[in-house]
Structure 1
């Protein structure tokens, strides 16, 4: 019986010219956004590859110079685009894609695409996830709002029940029919998306095809649960309200509340509850700790003098000129190590404020499932803040490694006062290159426990609401459905 009801529902949906028109429009949008995502992914990946090669060439061909000068010459670390980012670019447009690695400074990221965008481009960007997160739920509402309310107004609900059809059987059949109609849109898009992801993963390094497909599978399951929520809520509302018009109005309000109102309000509240320091405050605080010490009572000149005396005592000499190493190189190395502690302190506090904001948004998903879906989607695409922080930490460790190597070369191969010492391409080409690997899928899942739990709670709650509402549905206005 459920299958027959589903077939009838699919036939009626397909006969509706509005479904074919709107469905075709959404399908075209999905294909267009997937194509645009693939094009952007291919373009950016190629640009990054060229930039990395050019950056390494410049480093190796910089000529003879003092190792510390080479440390200031620096190198760039480019954040690779994971294959799944062609579906969801996440925070990449706002946090930057490259960082300059130089002596003394842990620099912020550069090249944020939003800096070169117009206001319309920033807030009107149409991507595959926009279609999945906003347009398809709206389409589900348009398909499901008359499921019970429309039958009630037409007088056919009483006829169906008089045939002995159980109300819950009717609901399951209608849900299956609507899902079948949606599959006509989603299955082709999923096939195209999987093919594009496989092609992207085949040409990527570090993140294999199996890992990319695993992330995509979790992303797909997330959106299926999200669509299930909207389908269940739509059936519940249609069963509860007397008219299709009222059901549509309530569901449209839910769509606005979930997709527009809660995300904006929650983000504003998160920034107020867990504020982060401004850029100017961050660098002012960092400079103060470098100058006066982390505890505020250990000024730089005092630290340097104490370290110098310990070094002289270690080698049993009275003057730095008598040291078997270059004191300047040793001092630079000591300064880098202390600066690392300062940067660790301030970046940890900054990143923690961002993590707290993200956690607040995830908790706010109790009011809007979109917040959970958005978080999981970005994580599986490798474009959320957790992945950005992981890359930033790896890049910073690499910066410290190359600066340590350069300072040690300066320290061990020259003497104090030797200002003419230079290294050449032998040293530059021997430096390790930066190789970044995307965290595995299990790591990404562990960062999304709270959003996953919230999404499951929403799914179970929506299904339970639909089950309860269908059980209390009315055959006609003012007449409750008799329980079978």
Structure 2
């Protein structure tokens, strides 16, 4: 019986000219957004790889110079693109794609794609995630709002109930029919998306981690199942199609459009971050604390004197200038860790607020999980920032250690390519899927709770279904 109800619901939907028009529009937009995402990913990924190779070549091609001059010469680290960014760009357009690594400084990221777009371009850009999170839920609303009310208004609901069809069977059958109609739009785009991901698995950031794709598909399937259940529940609980449509449109507007801004404002109010000027001022104030550096140097000097049984830096078998430079770096590193750590922790606290806000709007839970699985969220950006900063610090240790080992008093010391080659190439590996799910366990639980609650409400509404 469930299959018959599903078939009837599916045929009624697909034979409706309005459905065909809407399905065609949504399918075209889905495919276009995927094509644009693929083009952007391919172009930017190639640019980043070329730029990373160029900065490495530039580093190795330096003339002979003092290692500390090379430390200030520096190099770029370019953030590799995630294949799933073709679906969900997340925060990538707003946080920059490269960082300049040099001595004494932990620089901010540069080259934010959003800065190169006009307001019209930013407004008109439609990503795959926006289609999935905004347009498809509206499509579900339009498919479900009259599922029960139309039957009641046409008098066919009484006939169904008189045949002994249980409310649970009716709910499951209609849900299956709507799901099949939705699959006409989802399946082609999903297949093309999976093919595009598999095409790039050998060289992309998420190479060998197909689990992210599987989890992303699962997240959106649960989300759409939740929306179908909500739509059918409202249709079963209301007396007319007009009222059902108004209620569901209000839910769609609040869930898909209002919730993101409201939750972001709430997170910012609960965990405010300093302005760029305030942050930089506090950072520079602590960096300029020469007393802290002097204390570090005194402790290190005393340890070296004791180790080598000498009482003057000139008697040391190493150049104290290299030690001094490295101690200055270590002091700066502690300051960077404190200030950037505090700032990044505030962002993570805001992110936790956004996840918790998913209890009020399921789209917030889906949005968090989608960005996390795509590798375009703040957590993975922070992971890359940490990897680039650790690499910068390793460069300084290599160069300062070389100064300590080879600098002679009263002589000009110049290093050559053999030293530059001791600095390994920068490589970044994306965290595994388990790491992502661990960061978004709250969103995962919230989404499952929404699905369970919507199914319960659907069965409860159909159990109380009135035929008149």
Per the normalisation by structure 2, the TM-score is 0.97
Q: Where does 1:370-381 land on structure 2 (aligned, <5 Å)? A: 370-381=363-374
Aligned to 2:34: 34
Q: 1:326·1:414 contact (CA, 8 Å) conserved in 2?
A: yes
The Cα offsets for residues 146-196 of structure 1, whole Å up to 9 and x where unpaired, read as: 001111112221122122222221121111111111111111111111000
Distance across 2 between alignment mates of 1:437 and 1:301: 38
Distance across 2 between alignment mates of 1:67 and 1:352: 35
Q: 2:55·2:75 contact (CA, 8 Å) conserved in 1?
A: yes
C-alpha displacement of 1:316: 4.2
1:428 to 403, 420, 428: 420
Aligned to 1:443: 435
Aligned to 1:207: 206
Aligned to 1:169: 169
Distance across 2 between alignment mates of 1:62 and 1:441: 40
2:249 to 244, 247, 252: 252
Aligned to 2:354: 361
Aligned to 2:322: 329
Secondary structure, counterpart of 1:107 in structure 2: strand
Q: 1:65·1:424 contact (CA, 8 Å) conserved in 2?
A: yes
Q: 2:66·2:414 contact (CA, 8 Å) conserved in 1?
A: yes
2:338 to 340, 345, 348: 345
Aligned to 1:240: 237
Distance across 2 between alignment mates of 1:203 and 1:103: 31
Q: 1:84·1:197 contact (CA, 8 Å) conserved in 2?
A: yes
Mean CA deviation greater in 267-276 or 303-312: 303-312
Q: 1:320·1:416 contact (CA, 8 Å) conserved in 2?
A: no
Q: Where does 1:257-268 land on structure 2 (aligned, <5 Å)? A: 257-268=254-265
1:280 to 277, 282, 294: 277
C-alpha displacement of 1:95: 1.1
Aligned to 2:219: 222
Distance across 1 between alignment mates of 2:143 and 2:206: 39
Per the normalisation by structure 1, the TM-score is 0.94
Distance across 2 between alignment mates of 1:201 and 1:85: 13
Secondary structure, counterpart of 2:413 in structure 1: coil
Which blocks of at least 5 consecutive residues in structure 1 are unaligned? Answer: 477-484
Which blocks of at least 5 consecutive residues in structure 2 are unaligned? Answer: none
C-alpha displacement of 1:140: 0.6
Q: 1:321·1:417 contact (CA, 8 Å) conserved in 2?
A: no
Secondary structure, counterpart of 1:283 in structure 2: helix
Q: CA RMSD in A?
A: 1.5
Q: 1:90·1:383 contact (CA, 8 Å) conserved in 2?
A: yes
Q: 2:200·2:207 contact (CA, 8 Å) conserved in 1?
A: no
How many residue pairs match? The answer is 468
The answer to whether structure 1 residue 61 and structure 2 residue 58 are counterparts is no
Distance across 2 between alignment mates of 1:446 and 1:183: 30
Secondary structure, counterpart of 1:475 in structure 2: coil
Distance across 2 between alignment mates of 1:290 and 1:264: 36
Secondary structure, counterpart of 1:108 in structure 2: strand
